[in-house]
A and B are shown apart, each in its own frame.
Chain A
């Protein structure tokens, strides 16, 4: 493994090329847009309000970023009764005035207990700081209806509130807005969240630097391992098998996740 000085130099050169290309790629990718799922709060003491013709729920919220492209929602199933559900995204113009923007219909059979589902907006919503409402209903189902959005036992989300046809819930519907943001904003979002509340030494810059150095060490170690294998096998052959291995894994185990589209009205 890397026995001669010229091999070391050759390895060093290749490593340098890989790292430079990698950094250029990351720098360019940081300006591309990616979906960012924002976890607003960790819920405790979940409650359920099975939707039916007499019971609806609404959660108001304020988008914190420019481009809302979806919402991740969580449901609890109280039984296996199959019935349709309706989800509407409404703009709150004033206390009595509201405008329906998006809606979708789905069946309770598409939802399993406690899984999170992405509801993608057919057209991104630009409305940072404006008030919106997420309205859950099941207009044709009976009182033995089976699905409820998960409602937190605590009022954690301060920019909105959850109400039902029976009155306030005392908590919030658990939801996670999905925004479209540039790559570097995704990175700073997570860095800020991770370092929040930790010692002053642990800030987003030190964590960002740590992550970068870790990435470099990871790539270098992987390349050193490859260099040790290179003496034994042709790397092209090895990478072919590696590619086939991951392809077979993908074919065998890939399961597309269930998602829904909120269509613009």
Chain B
């Protein structure tokens, strides 16, 4: 068996086991909005149809109760795109695991770690040549405690991450000027469709991906005739519409609202009365929003209440700053592709940040790192590319030491998060 395949097989096993362990350790609903997500998936599994927001029981205001202990309310996620819930419903339909049906839904998310690893590895092969570079990139993509946590409870962020990596894979293909064939257009269209069936915060990435696709065709205008380009665009568009258009058509017919956002937010404000929202500038100029996003991007558990030690976030921030310095120093050595990747990562990162800040300003203040997941592969590129390119020559050791130490730091927090944070928090 080829060495990298050994690594991949081990990685799959490790990710699946880690996900299973975390899924068993984390009590039900000790994660943001888990009951709201689970309710929708469970409804689909039980009733074999999509819930209607505001009409079906528990599908307007979603309720979670432990008698005499706690009651939580939320606006139902029946209004949200159903991609993740369909996948979880498939597992919930497999059988009863009373009283732990939620574990089946969590298992659905855990299994998504495998395609995530495959796509991440495929992305690394597009960018890097040496084995240690590919291995480092994949481990950096997947070893964050927040990533593992995301795949260990019921939500739609896990599936969003899979399609995020897939869209980034496409973007890198376009940057590498790979030829777009009919088959690729079809698959790209399906990728877009699947992405918009998960969560709305993937929208900035989808727009960039579409832009990248059209830009790539424009670049090939001398080799591909206009009619053919148009045909490829239509193929991708029709594939995307066939994959996801039915859901949005349903929204228009049922709710007269493409995104059902009006009804959702009206219900949300009914439960959580709307105060004075900060402006976009106030949010972006305040330290709290940035720091809380950074923390929850790397490791915050429970209902955003269980934190890792502060030094964990500071060390990663320091690593990020060092990475930017290395990129600056080695800018020319990055080559054309590397430079384009950095610009793309910064651009998408900024766009996703602004979109998240706008959401906080327009709807509800929620500085949660998971809203930045569409920029996650870009962040990994920013963290790793400089080091990995600087260390390409065998004689240059310090970048390999630097990235190796960082990966071991993340490795250590795989164990420490579980044994010193999660288990003591609940047991």
Is A218's CB under 8 angstroms from B414's CB? Answer: yes
- Does residue B311 face the partner (Cβ distance < 8 Å to A)? yes
* The residue from A2, A210, A241, A249 contacting B3, defined by CB atoms under 8 A apart: A2
Known contacts A39-B427, A231-B132, A232-B400: A199-B6 contact under CB 8 Å:
no
* The residue from A220, A225, A242 contacting B135, defined by CB atoms under 8 A apart: A225
Is B131's CB under 8 angstroms from A238's CB? Answer: no
- Does residue A253 face the partner (Cβ distance < 8 Å to B)? yes
> In the complex, what residue of chain A is closest to B97 when comparing beta carbons?
A199
Interface size on B, residues (CB 8 A): 48
Is A232's CB under 8 angstroms from B405's CB? Answer: no
Known contacts A194-B24, A194-B423, A210-B21: A202-B14 contact under CB 8 Å:
no
Is B10's CB under 8 angstroms from A224's CB? Answer: yes
Known contacts A217-B10, A217-B14, A218-B414: A249-B315 contact under CB 8 Å:
yes
Is B6's CB under 8 angstroms from A224's CB? Answer: yes
Instruction: Give min CB distance, B388 to chain A, whole Å.
Output: 11
Known contacts A194-B427, A210-B20: A1-B103 contact under CB 8 Å:
no
Chain B residues near A245: list those with CB within 8 A: 405, 409
- Does residue A158 face the partner (Cβ distance < 8 Å to B)? no
Is B311's CB under 8 angstroms from A1's CB? Answer: no
Instruction: Give min CB distance, A38 to chain B, whole Å.
Output: 9
- Does residue A79 face the partner (Cβ distance < 8 Å to B)? no
Chain A residues near B94: list those with CB within 8 A: none
A198-213 CB mask vs B (1 if < 8 Å, else 0) is 1101100001001101
Chain B residues near A193: list those with CB within 8 A: 427
Is A228's CB under 8 angstroms from B24's CB? Answer: no
Instruction: Give min CB distance, A200 to chain B, whole Å.
Output: 9
Instruction: Give min CB distance, B24 to chain A, whole Å.
Output: 6
Interface size on A, residues (CB 8 A): 42
Interface of B is mostly: helix
* The residue from A214, A221, A229, A233 contacting B21, defined by CB atoms under 8 A apart: A214
Known contacts A190-B423, A199-B98, A249-B311: A241-B68 contact under CB 8 Å:
no
CA of A204 to CA of B7, assembled, Å: 30
CA of A218 to CA of B19, assembled, Å: 13
Chain A residues near B411: list those with CB within 8 A: 218, 222, 225
B60-73 CB mask vs A (1 if < 8 Å, else 0) is 00000000111000
In the complex, chain A residues 166-225 whose Cβ is within 8 Å of any chain B Cβ = 190, 193-195, 197-199, 201-202, 207, 210-211, 213-214, 217-218, 220-222, 224-225
Chain B residues near A231: list those with CB within 8 A: 131-132
CA of A241 to CA of B398, assembled, Å: 10
Instruction: Provide a sorted-by-A list of 20 A–B residue pairs whose CB atoms are within 8 angstroms.
Output: A202-B100, A207-B24, A211-B21, A213-B17, A214-B17, A220-B10, A221-B14, A222-B408, A222-B411, A224-B6, A225-B139, A228-B131, A228-B132, A229-B132, A229-B400, A232-B394, A233-B397, A237-B401, A238-B401, A253-B310
10 closest Cβ pairs, A-B complex:
A253-B311, A214-B17, A199-B100, A2-B3, A193-B427, A217-B14, A1-B131, A228-B132, A1-B3, A199-B97
**Which residues of chain A have a CB within 8 Å of any CB of chain B?**
1-3, 8, 37, 39, 44, 154, 190, 193-195, 197-199, 201-202, 207, 210-211, 213-214, 217-218, 220-222, 224-225, 228-229, 231-233, 237-238, 241-242, 245, 249, 252-253
